[in-house]
Amino acid sequence: MPDAVNVGFVPMATSARGVLFVFCDDTLKFGPDTVKAVGTAANAVKRAAATSQFKGKSGSTLDILAPEGLKASRLVVIGVGKLDAIKDHDFLKLGGALAGKIGGGKEPVTVIAELPSGAMTPAQAAAIAAGVRMRAYKFDRYKTKKKDGDDTPLDASVAIAVRDVAATKKAFAPQNHVVDGVIMARELVNEPPNVLYPVEFARRASQLRKLGVAVEVLDVPAMKRLKMGALLGVSQGSTQPGRTVIMRWNGGKKGQQPVAFVGKGVCFDTGGISIKPSGSMEDMKGDMGGAACVVGLMHALAARKAKVNVVGAIGLVENMPDGNAQRPGDIVTSMSGQTIEIINTDAEGRLVLADVLWYVAKKHKPKFMVDLATLTGAILVALGTEYAGLFSNNDELSQRLTEAGQATGERVWRMPMGPEYDKMMDSQFADMKNAGARHGGSITAAQFLQRFVDDTPWAHLDIAGTAMGAAKTDINQSWGSGYGVRLLDRLVADYYESK
Ligand code: BES
Ligand code: MN
Ligand code: ZN
């Protein structure tokens, strides 16, 4: 894993060298062990708080160098805000905020995992550790000259001092696997498109076999036999052959109906013959963010041995203009038998998903399917980078996704669907067209997808705004965010795992 930070748990300490982190609330109150650890430096904290207007707001920090009377060379106080307003998800952010303050030094770091009200629960202390790792991740594989300042990777040992080491380790183990999944998804999104093309993506997904995931890779002849004409039409303009990858984790009861996750994996989207303008086209290396999320999620679920049967499926292609590329006006036949008139070769993600959704629905008959796709620029217009668009034929699944979004901070916002929008995708020459008018572009894209799910309960997450290029946060400093891994891990954990 490309984060050099090393997080561990130690028994509650009241004396530490290096950098010492402690927590206070909005009244600047400390817990009992924190009071002991801060000792005579309490006075310096009071004075520094007054001069710097530090009020203990959630995530704010107060930095004291060479604190009098302590072995530590730095004492950093982190605010948690109002005690009764703290939510589970805040601990992840606190861990991130903390990691952001460590700096490039090699000094050991100690964190006193205590609130003014007493020791953090094992789950809370574990979330701090997870937040540290999420924040520490940096994509710098292709920088040959490591610089100081912002470019220094976090290379520290962070000891989190807790009341119950064994219980905290136990709480952290599954969370740690989820963080690995998030980082894996970020890596895939950040990788350049000359390195990560469909065959290489499939190879990386195949590494999940080490965790006991069954991985099946469909090559072009296999997809031709399945008559995946919509996906293959997109792929045909590239010299890089496409792939579909099916990953299965069977941690549930034998024969139990699986849940399914489907990802758009356009390793690079030039737009094809309907070519995109060159400004920011490089961002289209991230057009496989949905597939990256599915791989990261499968990693998380398998590594933490989730008690559920899961199918993960990704359609991997490159959308290129070429002598053999598909044209606007072409009519392709999807695996479902439905025909599609190509209006715009840049509306390629839905063509890829059409065949993979149909394949998963028919072959695996899942309890539900959730697809993730960087599908439309229009979802950025509607929701910006804070919420993913949620489109669904099922209220229960939508409700559960919304709740998992609130709990993890990976939020979704449900958008409308309906027959009026569906009609906008009818074609004069084929069963449907692949692009509607400009208005309601994210909705008509979802209507198109719905034509390939039959009556399977289904939700589509348009993650064009959330998977990449969002503002940097306490828990993510990288371009690729890994959005969706924690959301869907939570969905599975809260509703679909057998006890
Ligand atoms: N991959 C793009 C959507 C996208 C845009 C993702 C910006 C991330 C940032 C998708 O394939 C696309 O090109 N969609 C078109 C659809 C249109 C041609 C109907 C779009 O959004 O303009
Ligand atoms: Mn496109
Ligand atoms: Zn695309």
Q: Please write the tens of the pLDDT for every residue from 215-264.
A: 999 999 999 999 999 999 999 999 999 999 999 999 999 999 999 999 99
Ligand 3 centroid–CA 351 distance in Å is: 10
Q: Is the pLDDT reported for residue 149 higher than 70?
A: no
Task: Specify the CATH superfamily of domain 5-163.
Answer: Leucine Aminopeptidase, subunit E, domain 1 (3.40.220.10)
pLDDT of residue 153: 59
Ligand 3 centroid–CA 396 distance in Å is: 29
State how far the Cα of 115 lies from the Cα of 34, in Å rounded to an integer.
8
Mutate to test the pocket of ligand 1, among 376, 424, 448, 468 (most ligand atoms within 8 A of CB): 376
Q: Residues with beta carbon inside 6 Å of ligand 1? A: 269, 287, 344, 346-349, 374-378, 435, 441, 464
Return the ligand 1 atom nearest residue 266 CA.
1
Ligand 3 centroid–CA 297 distance in Å is: 21
The residue whose CA has the least distance to atom 22 of ligand 1 is: 377
User: Would you kindly state where each structural domain of the chain is located, as residue ranges?
Assistant: 5-163, 178-496
Q: Is the pLDDT reported for residue 3 higher than 90?
A: no
pLDDT of residue 147: 61
Could you give the residue numbers annotated as active site? 276, 350
Per-residue confidence at 88, pLDDT binned at 50, 70, 90? confident
Residue 303: count other Cβ atoms within 10 Å of its Cβ: 21
* Residue 472 labeled ligand binder: no
Q: Write out the residues surrounding ion ligand 3, Cβ under 5 A.
A: 266, 269, 287, 349
pLDDT of residue 104: 79
* Residue 269 labeled ligand binder: yes
Rounded alpha-carbon distances, angstroms, from residue 415 to 57, 226, 458, 484, 488:
34, 33, 14, 18, 19
178-496: CATH architecture = 3-Layer(aba) Sandwich (3.40)
* Residue 462 labeled ligand binder: no
Q: Is the pLDDT reported for residue 1 higher than 80?
A: no
Q: What is the pLDDT of residues 343-372, one digit of tens each?
A: 999 999 999 999 999 999 999 999 999 999
Per-residue confidence at 465, pLDDT binned at 50, 70, 90? very high
Ligand 2 centroid–CA 50 distance in Å is: 53
Per-residue confidence at 156, pLDDT binned at 50, 70, 90? confident
